[in-house]
Amino acid sequence: AIRDVYKRQAERDIALGEVSEFENVPGHGVSAETDRGRVLIGRRKLLEDEGIDTQPAEDTLTELEREGKTAMAVAVDGRLRGVLAVADEVRESAKETVAALHDRGTEVVMLTGDNERTAQAVAEQVGIPSENVRAEVLPEDKADHVEALQDEGNRVMMVGDGVNDAPALTTAQVGVAIGSGTDVAIESADVTLMRDDPADVLKAVRISEATISKVRQNLFWAFIYNTTLIPIAALGMLNPALAGLAMATSSVSVMANSLSFATYDPHEDYRLAVLKPFDALLGRN
C-alpha cells in the first residue's frame, strides 16, 4: 500500500513535505506534524477523539468497507480532507487452506482490527463462518480472545505477521509467524514460515502430525523388540550373539523408519506406507 501511495505521488509530481512527531496509535491509525499541518489517518474513532466529524465521508467509508477494504479517514488541521482505502488481495490458496482445515475438523477464527463490514466481507471470500469473525479487536485484546478460546478447552494455533499479533502468538499454545512479517512477531512465535503463502500453515500442521506419528511408530517397534526379547534373554534362551544382532536390528529399523520421512510430501496428509494400497479401495486420493 505504501509503495502504491509513493507511485501515485511520483506520477502526480507531488512534493513530499517534512514530517515530525509521528505517532502510531495501535489499532486506530497514525498522526504526525507536517509542514502542511497536523495530519490524522485512521479509523473513525481516531478522528472523532480529536473532535473531527467523519459523517460527511460515511457513505464512502461504508461502501469501501463492504468491498472488503480497510477504509481510513484523512484529516488535516482538524478538517476532514478525504478517505484512503487499502486492501490485501485474497489468495486462492487462502480459500483452499481454510476449506482443507474445515475438512479436517479444525475451526478457523478470524481476529482483526478492521471493522465488522470489512471483516465479514473478507471472511466470506475465504470461507470463514460469520460467527467466527472477531472484528475491531485492539492489539492488546487479541491475546485475551486466544486465552478465552483455550479456556473453553480448545487447542489454539495463532497465525500472525504483525507487531500487533505478538502477544497473541505468545499466548497461543502454538504461535505461527509469517516469514515476511515483523521481527517481533517472528521472535514471539514457535514456528516461522519461510514464505507468506497461507497454504504453508496447513503444511506445517501436516508435518507436525507426521512427525508425531513417526515418533509413535519408533516407540512401538522399540517396545515390541524389548518386551519380546528381554524376557527370553533373561531366561538364558537367547544366544548373546543373536541378542546383540536383535538390538542392532532394532536400532537400524527405527533409524530407517525415521529416514523414510525424508520422502514425505506435506501437500498430502501423512499415511502409513503399508496402508497406501488400501486407499484406492476406501476411495481416498
Q: For residues 96 and 197, state if they share a domain.
A: yes
User: What is the residue-wise DSSP string for 201-212?
Assistant: HHHHHHHHHHHH
Asked if 123 and 174 sit in the same domain, the reply is: yes
Does 261 or 31 have the greater pLDDT score? 31
60-90 pLDDT, tens digit per residue, is 999 988 888 888 999 999 999 999 888 777 8
What's the pLDDT at 9? Answer: 75
- Whether 208 and 144 map to the same domain: the answer is no
CATH of the domain at 169: 3.40.50.1000
Closest of 208, 214, 174 to residue 190, by C-alpha: 174
Q: Are residues 37 and 56 in the same domain?
A: yes
**pLDDT value, residue 165:** 86
Question: Taking a C-beta distance cutoff of 8 angstroms, is the pair 169, 175 a contact?
Answer: yes
Statement to judge: residues 180 and 168 lie in one domain: yes
**Is the pLDDT assigned to residue 280 strictly greater than 70?**
no
List of E strands, the chain: 19-25, 29-34, 37-42, 70-76, 79-86, 110-111, 133-134, 157-160, 174-178, 191-193
Residue 281 has pLDDT above 70, yes or no: no
**Does residue 247 register a pLDDT over 90?**
no
What residue numbers bound the domain in which 43 lies?
2-86
**Distance (Å, whole) CA 105 – CA 118:** 26
Are 209 and 183 within one domain? no
Q: What is the pLDDT of residues 155-173, one digit of tens each?
A: 999 998 877 788 899 999 9
Pick from 183, 201, 219: which residue ends a domain?
201
**C-alpha pair distances (Å), 135 with each of 154, 157, 159, 165, 245:** 20, 18, 16, 14, 62
The model's pLDDT over 39-59, given as tens digits with 9 standing for 90+, comes to 999 988 899 999 999 999 999
* Three-class secondary structure of residue 70 per DSSP: strand
Amino acid at position 164, single letter: N
pLDDT (0 to 100) of residue 277: 53
The grid coordinates of residue 104 equal 479436517
pLDDT, tens only, 185-242: 888 889 988 888 889 999 999 999 999 998 998 888 888 887 887 788 777 777 777 8
Average pLDDT over residues 17-21: 82
How many angstroms from the chain centroid is the CA of residue 159?
2
* 176 CB-near residues (< 8 Å, 6+ apart): 157, 158, 159, 160, 169, 189, 190, 191, 192, 193, 201, 204
| 274: confidence class by pLDDT, cuts 50, 70, 90 | low
The DSSP call for residue 129 is -
Indicate the residue among 86, 116, 147 that finishes a domain. Answer: 86
pTM for the structure as a whole: 0.71
Q: Say whether both 142 and 242 belong to one domain.
A: no
Please indicate, yes or no, whether residues 103 and 194 belong to a single structural domain of this protein: yes
Of 60, 86, 112, which closes a domain? 86
136 shares a domain with 150: yes
- Give me the chain's average pLDDT, please: 85
Which residue, among 55, 61, 114, has the nearest Cα to 83 in the 3D structure? Answer: 61
Q: How many domains does the chain have?
A: 3
Q: How many whole angstroms separate alpha carbon 115 and alpha carbon 137?
A: 9
Non-local CB neighbours of 22 within 8 Å, separated by 6+ positions:
30, 31, 32
Do 213 and 191 share a domain, yes or no? Answer: no
How many residues comprise the chain?
285
Same domain, 181 and 142: yes
